[in-house]
Structure 1
Amino acid sequence: MDWRPEWTGGWRNWIRPLVMSIYFLVLVIALPLCVWELQKNGVQLHLQAWFVGGLFVMMAIPISLWGILQHLVNYTQPFLQRYIIRILWMVPIYALNAWFALRFPDEAIYLDTLRECYEAYVIYNFFAYLMSFLRSEFSRLEHHLELKQSSVKHIIPFCCLPSWESGEKFLTHCKHGALQYTVIRPITTIIALICALAGVYDEGHFSFKNAWTYIVVINNVSQIVSNSFA
């Protein structure tokens, strides 16, 4: 026997209006506060940019939330939609991160740390989504790849490297290429945070004496491996 209240069974009917109503209420409160902040500070150029950015944030978030709610309400393919929902959360997280970082630049390093860790999480979910979709279409995915082509060539500029054997080995290489970034990115992000707190990060300046240069190189190499070998 189900002891849950009756109203919980029809949550698909009220969840979207509820979320949109809460968002509208927050918007009604936040917008006057933004205007008051502008007037209080004499409408400086930096705050003008922050206000304009806020308008775009307020447009992006409801669109993303609506897409997320649509998937939750029509949750008919959980093995795919769980990944889609996690990916869609990237828009509100990135939008709010950029907006708050613009207003509070001294605290941006902490916000960026959370954002970049979520970026790695999204990369993992996107790869998992692709694998789940392909395996739902082809029950014997490795065998299907082997029949389609015996080997896989690298893209430019790595086309001179030996081709990969198709099938299971190719999928293994793809997993390693994509997932190594999901490990390296959070590690370099935490190192960047520690270096920033220690005063040796010096973001935006290429120099062998700061940590930012080395972290950028490591991240870019990891991204190249992820994009070119996955």
Structure 2
Amino acid sequence: MVFFNTTCNSTLEDLRIGSEEKIAGDFTFHQLALIIAGGSTIVAYIVSFYLMWQHALNYTKPREQKHIIRILFMVPIYATSSFLSLWFYWHAVYFQVISEAYEAFAISSFFALMCHLVAPDLHEQKQFFRQMQPIKPWLLPVNWFAKCCGGERGIWRVPKSGLTWFNIIWIGVYHYCFIRVAMTIVAVVTQHFDRYCESSNSPVFAHVWVIVIVAIAVTIAIYCLFQFYTQFRQSLAEHKLGLKVLSIKLVVFLSFWQTIAISLATSSSLNLVSPNEKLAYPDLKVGIPSLLLCIEMALFATLHIWAFPYAQYKEGAKTTFYPSPNPSIGIPPRENERGPKMGGFAGLKAFGDAINVWDIVKAFGRGIRWLFVGAKRRHEDPSYQLKADTSYPTPNNSDGKSTDHLPIANEFRRSTFGLPHAPGDPMPEESAGLIANAQPNPGSGPRRQATPYQDSNLPPQAYNDNAEPGPSTRPAHFTPYDDRGDIGAAGPQYYAYDAGDPYSSNYETGVTRPQQRSSTQVKFGNALWGHQDPQRHEGSG
């Protein structure tokens, strides 16, 4: 029978630094570490806040830049937490878990940023992923699991639907927000009741369980980010996606795993590294990892200048485009339009948008709903059908600008009026119905179409420029409402109803009218247009 020690033998609250030997002039390791960490923190602050402020001043794409500002906030938060942990080392656990909780929001914001680089909002993102082809296979080691656990029918298979693939990545990233915040609360509460015991890896304390749960959750989240990056590495190359992934990956990796490595090395169970006359136990447990993080945050703040530049969001910057969900169908990329500056006074509105994390809460709720509530009806989505919907809102115009805001254009694209459609057959091509049912103007050539103002009693040569016999030209007083004014050898002839009316489609020259207007029509016409002298037009040619 195995017995565990339920007493935390050594805690940082009981230890103080003060009797160590000096290692550089008059400074001990702790004093020297505070100086270096403080300078690095100041550098990280200046560089990071300058970049965030530039994004806030050039806040032309709020859906993207809101998440960029959140990512950039990670550097000052980590630098501040590490410096305070180094200074107040006996309360380091509180600063560490709070900064690590923000790590989850940075990862989720980075995922949201990549989603908005694919499509502008959630609705169009789902439309995009419904048609996404091809779907790249899972990375290592999941593809190995798929081979030995059922292949294409096993639980590790690659989804046939791009929307299902997207939702798996979605829940794989956003679940980490909930896990990380929950473990932060557990760490703070158990530390208050002396049940956390950071110096011990015994299973009777909460510390080891928090480490294991967070390690699994962050590994899944980072794996999903890499899977998303692999899918769009080429199509989003203009956004320097690889450099962005590297900057996020290294921050998470170094902040978490180097702390875990030092914690295990200094634990009472392994005891690989022991304090000495120059390095106290708090220096090993807290000082070294905190100092390293402060230096690394200054370096990452500089790296972010190239990873998350603000120049592409300035007015007049180079145009960027959303990728195509399926390059094989030949849909041109749509322009990622830039709006006016919406950062508010000195960019304060942009910072307010970044601080509001309600969208992350809703995103986590959506993922949970899809995972548990929508599982039974998941395969009813059109993307599971053999012929998926191809109505992704990408325009067919060459300049890449959307016409979705034009209701007439939308109705034209959707119309299949009059086309034969047997049950079970795919719907005809969009807008084919209106084209197929377009009727030519009786008796007219290809250059004319019937208008509401034309008189059906007139012969074809009265309103067709291409009609035979004889050449025809338009009168000088031709208007957009007059579609058939021809001049012949006989000279102009006028009729009482519309004589001299330039807006009348019945004004004819050089044509013998088959029948004149009745007296009732003349009176009605004069009441509408007034009686005008036709002689005023004789010299208008």
Which band: TM-score by shorter chain? 0.7 to 0.9
Select 2:171's aligned residue among 171, 176, 180.
Answer: 176
Helix, strand or coil for the counterpart of 1:90?
helix
- Structure 1 CA distance for aligned equivalents of residues 59 and 132 of structure 2: 33
One-letter code aligned to 2:55: H
Given that 1:154 and 1:229 are in contact with CA atoms closer than 8 Å, whether structure 2 keeps it comes out as: no
The runs of 5 or more residues in structure 2 that have no matched partner are 1-25, 147-155, 226-541
CA offsets 1:105-140 (integer angstroms, 9 cap, x no match):
112222223212222222221122111111139x85
Select 1:221's aligned residue among 216, 219, 232.
Answer: 216
Matches within 5 A, 1:22-33: none
One-letter code aligned to 1:65: F
- Note if 1:89 corresponds to 2:73: yes
Given that 1:149 and 1:166 are in contact with CA atoms closer than 8 Å, whether structure 2 keeps it comes out as: no
The 1:171–1:92 alpha-carbon spacing in structure 2 relative to 1, beyond 3 Å, is same
What does residue 117 of structure 2 align with? 133
- Structure 2 CA distance for aligned equivalents of residues 157 and 174 of structure 1: 16
- Note if 1:48 corresponds to 2:32: yes
One-letter code aligned to 1:91: V
What does residue 78 of structure 1 align with? 62
Shifted more, 173-182 versus 71-80: the winner is 71-80
Matches within 5 A, 1:1-230: 43-136=27-120, 140-142=124-126, 144-145=128-129, 147-159=131-143, 160=146, 161-229=156-224
Helix, strand or coil for the counterpart of 1:89?
helix
Given that 2:48 and 2:75 are in contact with CA atoms closer than 8 Å, whether structure 1 keeps it comes out as: yes
Helix, strand or coil for the counterpart of 1:55?
helix
Deviation at 1:75, TM superposition (A): 1.3
Given that 2:119 and 2:128 are in contact with CA atoms closer than 8 Å, whether structure 1 keeps it comes out as: no
Question: Relative to total residues, which structure has the larger helix share, 1 or 2?
Answer: 1
What does residue 460 of structure 2 align with? none
Helix, strand or coil for the counterpart of 2:220?
helix
Given that 1:143 and 1:167 are in contact with CA atoms closer than 8 Å, whether structure 2 keeps it comes out as: no
One-letter code aligned to 2:81: N
- Structure 1 CA distance for aligned equivalents of residues 119 and 132 of structure 2: 15
- TM (normalized to structure 1)? 0.74
One-letter code aligned to 1:220: A
What does residue 4 of structure 1 align with? none
- Structure 1 CA distance for aligned equivalents of residues 100 and 30 of structure 2: 24
Helix, strand or coil for the counterpart of 1:70?
helix
Given that 1:152 and 1:165 are in contact with CA atoms closer than 8 Å, whether structure 2 keeps it comes out as: no
Deviation at 1:177, TM superposition (A): 0.4
Given that 2:55 and 2:69 are in contact with CA atoms closer than 8 Å, whether structure 1 keeps it comes out as: yes
Helix, strand or coil for the counterpart of 1:149?
coil
Larger Rg: 2
The 1:164–1:203 alpha-carbon spacing in structure 2 relative to 1, beyond 3 Å, is farther
Higher relative contact order (CA 8 A, sep 6+): 2
CA RMSD of aligned residues (A): 2.3
- Structure 2 CA distance for aligned equivalents of residues 229 and 56 of structure 1: 32
- Structure 1 CA distance for aligned equivalents of residues 29 and 206 of structure 2: 31
Deviation at 1:91, TM superposition (A): 0.8
